[in-house]
């Protein structure tokens, strides 16, 4: 186990009706709010009305930056930054899924900056001060409500890049599972895959001796395997929505990383799919992860796969190790299919045309992954997933 600093700063109001604390939370940080949201789901569901009622009741001024795209674009971030400057905003309030929260974080980083927003995304050392961010989560997936990262797309350069700064971690997150009742079966499935991928990225690491953290990870994965299908079939099942929501936050809020040192593998590969094809992030991960697993399975990585198969999918531990590993990977692929997600890149609209460029870029983005992957390795994984 490596040394670490435990630092998870976000305060969480969890559960039905906890939005009632929103006004007081915002007032800790100022009186002028920028409300950031997506393409309109919060208006259809009534969440917009509930949030703005809290703002009114607390006597707060607010301006709005709506229309954040899934895979949020740098242009929208720039629009939000301009509003912050014009309206002298004190605090940025994101209401939505990961895209709205990520967009809000980079708006907050750019509000007091002389740099263009894309400069900040490309080089996090240019981020100096960040306005406080508060998140109201409406989709269990990315964990952005409780982490310091954001991922932004630039369609002009065909890039989708992550950026992180401790100041971007939300000061408060409001998590009401009933706000996710309206999430479609497809987005519920993709969100479940994303939560599992974050967990898997932190579970497949070289460092050993992290039994406690590994057990947390297995618990998160089992929670997704249990409740993902229930949430897809019964969108208003509170227990399923609540468990997925909390799992999503803990999968990426750093807990699973403490004591470990490797970077991620499937995320850099997936971000290329989102950049070139505007693919839903969790779908790309569901397609790629089993192929990545098959590619890196070897005598060196075998024990990790055995734990994964036995602990997460209940594979018989008396079987030969290699068989357990294969069965575990097959079970994961079958699980994603059972949620209604397609399992090949072709079915998701991806062809051969950009694979070389995507593999080259992903190889550059991958930092010290569990198993080193060259451009050629990544290309093989993309081709296997086609
Ligand atoms: O835009 P609206 O109208 O709100 O609709 C959204 C969108 O169409 C809809 N939705 C959200 N909440 C809903 C709802 N529909 C009905 N009822 C609700 N309650 O769902 C669609 C997808 O929303 P989006 O925010 O894009 O999804 P998600 O939360 O999966 O976020 C994906 C983005 O986060 C990034 C991804 O790359 C992607 O850009 N990630 C951010 C991370 C982070 N900050 O740490 C880590 C992740 O690995 C990921 O990369
Ligand atoms: Zn993710």
The pLDDT of residue 170 is: 98
- Which of 8, 35, 41 to mutate for ligand 1's pocket (most ligand atoms within 8 Å of CB)? 41
Axis-axis angle for helices 375-385, 281-296 (nearest 10): 110
Q: What residues contact residue 83 under an 8 Å CB cut-off, 6+ apart?
A: 34, 63, 65, 89
- Which of 187, 190, 272 to mutate for ligand 1's pocket (most ligand atoms within 8 Å of CB)? 187
Kindly indicate whether the ipTM for this predicted assembly is greater than 0.85, answering yes or no. yes
For residue 152, the ligand 1 atom closest to its alpha carbon is 39
Structure tokens at 192: 């479940």
**Residue 139, ligand 1, Cβ within 6 A:** yes
Strand, coil or helix: 238: helix
Ligand with smallest separation from the Cα of 106:
1
Contact present, 75 and 116 (Cβ < 8 Å): no
**C-alpha 297 to ligand 1 mean position (Å):** 31
The pLDDT of residue 33 is: 98
Output the DSSP codes for 133-192. EEEEE-SSSS-GGGSSEEEEEETTTTEEEEEE-GGGS-SEEEE-GGGGTTS-HHHHHHHH
Nearest CA-CA partner of 193 in 238, 224, 155 = 224
**Residue 73, ligand 1, Cβ within 6 A:** no
pTM above 0.90, yes or no: yes
**C-alpha 336 to ligand 2 mean position (Å):** 15
Low-confidence ranges of the chain (pLDDT < 70): none
**C-alpha 31 to ligand 2 mean position (Å):** 33
Contact present, 189 and 341 (Cβ < 8 Å): yes
CA angle 251, 257, 259 (to 5 degrees): 145
**Residue 183, ligand 1, Cβ within 6 A:** yes
Q: Which domains does the chain have, with CATH numbers?
A: 11-179 (3.40.50.1970), 185-385 (1.20.1090.10)
The pLDDT of residue 365 is: 93
**C-alpha 88 to ligand 2 mean position (Å):** 32
- Distance between CA atoms of 141 and 284, rounded to whole angstroms? 13
Give how far the C-alpha of residue 13 lies from the chain's centroid of Cα atoms, to the nearest Å: 19
Half-sphere exposure of 248 toward its Cβ, with a 13 Å CA cutoff?
Answer: 33
Q: Where in the chain does DSSP place strands (E)?
A: 11-14, 32-37, 61-65, 91-96, 133-137, 149-154, 159-164, 172-175
The pLDDT of residue 378 is: 98
Q: Are strands 149-154 and 159-164 parallel, antiparallel or unpaired?
A: antiparallel
**C-alpha 85 to ligand 2 mean position (Å):** 31
The pLDDT of residue 245 is: 98
**Residue 182, ligand 1, Cβ within 6 A:** yes
Neighbours of 357 (CB within 10 A): 14
The pLDDT of residue 194 is: 98
**Ligand 1 atom 36: residue of nearest CA:** 281
For residue 162, the ligand 1 atom closest to its alpha carbon is 50
For residue 181, the ligand 1 atom closest to its alpha carbon is 19
Ligand with smallest separation from the Cα of 143:
1
For residue 267, the ligand 1 atom closest to its alpha carbon is 48
Using DSSP, how many helices (H) and how many strands (E) does the chain show?
16, 8
**Ligand 1 atom 15: residue of nearest CA:** 183
């Amino acid at each position: 186990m490596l040394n670490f600093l435990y630092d998870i700063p976000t305060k969480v109001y969890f559960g039905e009706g906890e939005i009632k604390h929103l006004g007081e939370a915002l007032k800790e940080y100022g009186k002028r709010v920028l409300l950031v949201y997506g393409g309109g789901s919060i208006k259809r569901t009534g969440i917009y009305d509930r949030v703005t009622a809290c703002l009114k009741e607390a006597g707060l001024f607010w301006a709005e930056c709506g229309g954040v795209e899934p895979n949020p674009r740098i242009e929208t971030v720039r629009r939000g930054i301009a509003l912050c400057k014009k309206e002298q905003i004190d605090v940025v309030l994101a209401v939505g899924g990961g895209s709205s929260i990520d967009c809000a974080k980079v708006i907050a980083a750019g509000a007091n900056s002389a740099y263009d927003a894309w400069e900040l995304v490309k080089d996090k050392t240019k981020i100096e001060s960040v306005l406080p961010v508060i998140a109201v989560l409406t989709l269990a997936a990315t964990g952005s409500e409780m982490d310091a990262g954001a991922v932004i797309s630039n369609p002009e350069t065909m890039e989708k890049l992550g950026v992180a700064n401790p100041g971007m971690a939300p000061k408060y997150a409001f998590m009401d599972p009933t706000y996710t009742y309206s999430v479609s079966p497809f987005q519920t499935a993709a969100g479940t895959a994303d939560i599992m991928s974050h967990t898997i990225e932190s579970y497949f690491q070289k460092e050993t001796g992290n039994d406690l953290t590994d057990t947390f990870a297995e618990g998160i994965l089992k929670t997704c395997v249990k409740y993902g299908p229930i949430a897809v079939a019964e969108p208003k099942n509170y227990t399923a929505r609540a468990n997925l929501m909390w799992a999503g936050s803990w999968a990426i809020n750093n807990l699973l990383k403490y004591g470990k040192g490797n970077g991620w593998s499937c995320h850099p590969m997936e971000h290329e799919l989102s950049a070139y094809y505007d693919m839903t992030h969790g779908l790309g991960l569901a397609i790629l992860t089993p192929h990545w697993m098959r590619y890196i399975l070897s005598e060196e990585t075998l024990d990790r796969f055995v734990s994964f198969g036995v602990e997460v999918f209940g594979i018989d531990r008396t079987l030969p190790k290699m068989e357990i590993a294969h069965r575990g990977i097959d079970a994961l692929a079958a699980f994603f299919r059972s949620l209604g997600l397609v399992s090949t890149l072709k079915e998701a609209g991806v062809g051969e045309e950009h694979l070389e460029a995507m593999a080259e870029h992903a190889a550059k983005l991958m930092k010290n992954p569990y198993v080193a992957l060259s451009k050629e390795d990544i290309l093989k994984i993309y081709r296997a997933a086609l």
